[in-house]
Amino acid sequence: MTTPRHAVPEDAAELVRLRRLMFAAMTGRDAPGAWERHAEEVARRQLADPQGPLVAFVVDGAAENGAPRLAACAVGTVEQRLPAPGHPSGLFAFVFNVCTDVGHRGLGYARATTEALLGRFTELGVSRVDLHATEGAEPLYRSLGFAEHSTALSLDLRSRPSDAG
């Protein structure tokens, strides 16, 4: 059995590499760019803060050309909202990055890292965890207890007309 470990700031570049692989698998195209440098900076900074919102678990892979590599990761954030009757802690979480490197797929790493992430969310007192699932990953998440919750709406503020007045 594989035991994931907490990600540390030194894992930031690898977390971003796996994030890029995840997007490529989802969209069918690779999209390198400046976002990677910024994502690495954010991950490094947030992982350095043990009380920060970013929570990540990883499985180590074999080093490549002397550089450490991650085989898999599950990453999410914890958000403090105002408490409510059904959510007395007001703590919610969002899983936004689960990826296993191609050479390590089918070994249970996505399940192991996601279960570790959910365990940490439970320890923190999170009452609900949300995520968006690809068709291929949906069976995994359903087996972990995820189900439809509600119809989410979202707004990309970059596309919103600016107020000319």
Instruction: List the chain pLDDT tens, one digit each, 165 residues.
Output: 689 999 999 999 999 999 999 999 889 999 999 999 999 999 999 999 999 999 999 999 988 888 889 999 999 999 999 999 999 999 999 999 999 999 999 999 999 999 999 999 999 999 999 999 888 899 999 999 999 888 778 788 888 887 655
Domain positions in the chain = 5-159
Q: Name the residue type at position 73.
A: C
Phi-psi label, residue 90: left if phi above 0, alpha if psi -120 to 50, beta otherwise:
left
Give dist(CA 5, CA 56) in Å, integer: 9
Encode pLDDT of 61-78 as tens digits: 988 888 889 999 999 999
Contacts of 71 (CB under 8 A, 6+ apart): 58, 59, 60, 61, 100, 101, 103, 104, 107, 109
In the numeric block, which tokens belong to residue 147?
A: 């189900």
* Yes or no: domain 5-159 corresponds to CATH 3.40.630.30: yes
pTM for the complete prediction? 0.91
Q: How far apart are CA 111 and CA 140, in angstroms?
A: 7
120: helix, coil or strand?
helix
